[in-house]
Structure 1
Amino acid sequence: MTVTSLIGAHVFVAGGLATGGLRNAAEIEAEFVQVFVTNPRGWALAAGRPAEDAALRDSGLPVFIHTPYLVNLGSPSAETVERSVTSIRHALLRGAELGARGVVVHTGSAVTQSPEAAMRQVREHLLPLLDEIPEDGPDLLLEPMAGQGRMLCATVEDLGPYLSALDFHPRAGVCLDTCHAFAAGHDLTAPGGMARMLDALHAVAPGRLKLVHANDSKDACGSKRDRHENIGAGNIGAAAFGDLLRHPAAAGVPLCIETPGEAERHRADILLLKKLRDGCPG
């Protein structure tokens, strides 16, 4: 029996998680949503609004949360690490309140210190957070980056030692960003390229893939540049996303767009992915 992958989007929540988020989701025909629960470019933590939280929960629409962009447990700055821990804990608590399926966190950068020192920090601070997650709380989803700078995890093979540092904790899942993977050097446009990448992911992290950020790329394979493009309009192309949707490792895994533009372009991206999911050519 084939398990259908939901197609959703990171949505704008102006006016409230439910008021704005559900309106945006309906407009672009998203089957689930990803949201920020606090300022994505700052450290201030926002409290939930009970009525909005209840409305989003009661909608039945699956929810994922993305942590702020500043979060980096590999940073040489003790202040950044401390604030990152607080931010991740806040997102996990808000995720539990919203009934979210997962909380996405970037895997981080060593910045100016050695990768070994940075990974010791990741282990020291992330393991306790993973242990705190209640049984009915969201998984923490690790998102590899595009390989720029001193990133700790970029290719899917990098997930092996990263998860090993976390003792393959059962609440540590994976969020795969197609633009990041392409930029990191996975040639998703080559014949069988998407399948090879997903096979490699399954080899190092079987059953850990919980979410895909479905983004085309403005730049070439191996560019190490994280610039998203609309589905089929970039250097990855629509066909690769069809390959992804047909691969056993991605069966039932939700696909979330984080593509440029306003509602009209997001709706077009979602409709294209739905056609590919349903076996129609892009």
Structure 2
Amino acid sequence: MSATAPTETQDLAPVRTESLAELLIATERPPRPSALSACLTFGWRAMLKIKHVPEQLFDVTAFPIMMVLMYTYLFGGALAGSPQEYIQYLLPGILVMSVVMITMYTGVSVNTDIEKGVFDRFRTLPIWRPSTMVGYLLGDALRYAIASVVILTVGLIMGFRPDGGLLGVVGGIAVLLVFSFAFSWIWTMFGLLLRTEKSVMGVSMMVIFPLTFLSDIFVKPETMPGWLQAFVNNNPITHVSSAVRALMDGTSPTTELMWTLGWVVLLVGVFGPVTMRLYNRK
């Protein structure tokens, strides 16, 4: 039979209430993060998701390339005489269309985090409350920039030549990114309002498809019936597309830029407060 060695017991030091309180209650609290710091932190979190799940970049790489190739070679000969002529008009519009269409994934990401319970933990943090939503939008701005670079690279290979030069290209992308940031607030609202991510995607596509196809992305509004021109000329996607196209062409898009900035202010002013109200009540 094997004998078990007796275990030695040691007396623990008595714990005083005063010493325990000193450990639990710090003399100085760490400083509360600023609104900018909180927004950048959540934006970095959104970018880390791309790092760990690189498949998320499929919609900003393969999808834009497919769009440029398909529409240029399918409709270029019929609408402009040749694909090389058509791409000069089409590429800025396809750039706007591709970036606007991927903005809906912001709402999908918000809805997914709500279903996983992540937002419940975010709401307990001593941070500026809108920083969570703003961080999502800042992180997605990187995706929009990647999509823009991919489309422009493919367009340059296919023969697109912007007369506005590098400054016009950078200005056009900047205008598009600002508008996409404002436009994404719509999908954050739907991400909070709807129950499942499939519902968010379904509603988003119902809104995006009419706005993008009933615009001047593919053809000039002058070729459309009069009743359709009334909608197309007042479509925010038309204003953004015309502004980006004019900047890349080297012309002055003062009117279209004013309309685009007006839509940016309107979208943020309307859907921003609505989104935060839904977020506070969720």
TM-score > 0.5, shorter chain as reference: no
| Greater per-residue helix proportion | 2
| Greater per-residue strand proportion | 1
TM-score (norm 2): 0.26
Q: Which has the higher contact order (CA 8 A, sep 6+)?
A: 2
Greater Cα radius of gyration, structure 1 or 2: 2
